[in-house]
Amino acid sequence: MNQPDSLPAYYDDLALSFEEAWGHITAGVTNRNSPSHMPVIGTVDAFGAPQMRIMILRNVSREERTLRFHTDTRSTKTEQLHHNVATSVLIYDPAAKVQIRISGKTQFSSQGDVANTAWSTSTPFARRCYMAEAAPGTPIAEPSSGLPTWIEGKQPDEAQLADYRENFAALLVKVETIEWLYLANAGHRRARWYWDAGQNVWAGCWLIP
């Protein structure tokens, strides 16, 4: 006989579900094994077509309602993200049976404090991808990493990286809504919260799953 699920404290508690949702999101920054570490980021291209890709979650500020990602200023997604555009972030944690759908607007930052700090606090290996000689997505005749051959398999030092800083940008997704779906045999639970800018509070309610 199937055992009923043992239900978590947040199952029927909207405020606790909200805490749980933020807990999942923030865990993605420090826990590389958390599914929140590699969410799917959705944008819309110039033709109105949805475009999705995995990106590493680098920082979360619940207070500022921001999620930070890093990318190459020459990438295709950068064109789509330049003008404070709608962005979605999708997380599914199979062990927790939780899906989180975030929507917001992206602030593109290739200069200034946010980008400078994000650059200087990234590891040299992480920053090596910005040394690609041509823009990501450029067609090439032979398979290649796109990196200069002298740096392949090596860790660059600060002086070698300095010339490539201009290829780096931080993307800050300003969160506007968070949707929660918890799967349970006893009955799924779904909720959504939106940032009420007039009241400066998160407002949420349960939804039919």
Ligand X SMILES: Cc1cc2nc3c(=O)[nH]c(=O)nc-3n(C[C@H](O)[C@H](O)[C@H](O)COP(=O)(O)O)c2cc1C
Separation between Cα atoms, residue 9 and residue 31, nearest integer Å = 23
Separation between Cα atoms, residue 102 and residue 99, nearest integer Å = 10
Whole-number minimum distance, CB 125 to ligand X, in Å? 13
Q: Is 40 in the site for ligand X (CB under 6 A)?
A: no
Q: Is 136 in the site for ligand X (CB under 6 A)?
A: yes
**Quick one: 162 exposed, middle or buried, by C-beta within 10 A (0-12, 13-18, 19+)?**
exposed
Among 30, 51, 120, 138, binds ligand X (CB under 6 A): 51
Separation between Cα atoms, residue 190 and residue 56, nearest integer Å = 26
Q: Is 147 in the site for ligand X (CB under 6 A)?
A: no
Identity at 63, one-letter amino acid code:
E
Nearer to ligand X (CB atom), residue 49 or residue 208: 49
Q: Is 77 in the site for ligand X (CB under 6 A)?
A: yes
Select the span of 71-79, 90-98, 112-120, 152-160 touching ligand X (CB under 6 A).
Answer: 71-79
Q: Is 109 in the site for ligand X (CB under 6 A)?
A: no
Phi, psi torsion values for 72, nearest 5 degrees: -90, 130
Select the span of 49-57, 142-150, 160-168, 191-199 touching ligand X (CB under 6 A).
Answer: 49-57
CA dihedral 46, 49, 55, 59 (to 10 degrees): 70
Among 24, 70, 101, 189, binds ligand X (CB under 6 A): 70
Nearer to ligand X (CB atom), residue 89 or residue 191: 89
> Are the beta carbons of 46 and 79 closer than 8 angstroms?
yes
Site of interaction with ligand X (CB under 6 A): 38, 51, 53-56, 69-72, 75-77, 136-137
